[in-house]
Amino acid sequence: MTDTIHEQVKQALHHFRLPRYDEITDVGLYLDQTTRYINEYMFPLSEDMAITSSMISNYVKLHLIPSPVHKHYSRNRIAALICITMIKTIMSMDHIYILMHMYKSNMSEEEAYELFRTELDHSLHYVFGVDEVISAPADDHQMTDFALMIRNMTIAIAHKIYLDVCFTDIAKSGTVELPQKKQKKKKEPQ
């Protein structure tokens, strides 16, 4: 990888930061507002991590998050959706369902979100080459089985994001020319 692409990869990380739990709005957002709110945090790293209104509705139907109250999504729901948006890039919905129910027996929603956010931040800084080692876990979250799962999951997410950013930058640089996709021909009526 060229130095220019390596610097572009590091710059992508420089513009990305998930909000702390207490920074997430708690005024109650409608579905479209929730979608836009979450995507504003995802786009600096990867537009592939976008969430749609349909996805959110499906996550409610799958019981990954509780139904909105009077069509408003609260801080807890938004925090869960931020996590799901990132986790869905590496895990099946069944595994996400198990994970979402596991945290409820281990910690509060705020603690689970903060653990995810902190571990993701540490993993991204390590994988993107900003830090030489992954930071130790916070004292209040020693490496329980659940915390270890979160750490490994965030490392996998960080690797996926890193590779997506690298390949996107390489494609944009023109170093490798991608083949043109063939357009499907419409069937002519007989």
Percent of the chain with pLDDT over 90: 54
Quote the pLDDT of residue 106: 79
**CA distances to 8, 72, 84, 154 from 87, in Å:** 24, 23, 5, 8
Quote the pLDDT of residue 56: 97
> Nearest-CA neighbor of 34 among 1, 65, 3, 2?
65
88 φ, ψ (degrees, to nearest 5):
-60, -15
Q: How many CB atoms lie within 10 A of CB 39?
A: 15
Q: For all residues of the chain together, what is the average pLDDT?
A: 86
Between residues 54 and 190, which one has the greater pLDDT?
54
Residue pLDDT, tens place only, 48-88 = 788 999 999 999 999 999 999 999 999 999 999 999 999 99
Mean pLDDT to the nearest integer, 100-125: 91
Q: What angle do CA 15, 137, 97 make, to 5 degrees?
A: 75
Between residues 81 and 16, which one has the greater pLDDT?
81
Quote the pLDDT of residue 183: 58
* Least confident range of 26-35, 44-53, 173-182: 173-182
Residue 1 has pLDDT above 80, yes or no: no
**CA distances to 37, 112, 175, 183 from 45, in Å:** 15, 22, 21, 29
Q: How many CB atoms lie within 10 A of CB 38?
A: 25
Query: Do residues 126 and 133 make contact, with C-beta atoms less than 8 angstroms apart?
Result: yes
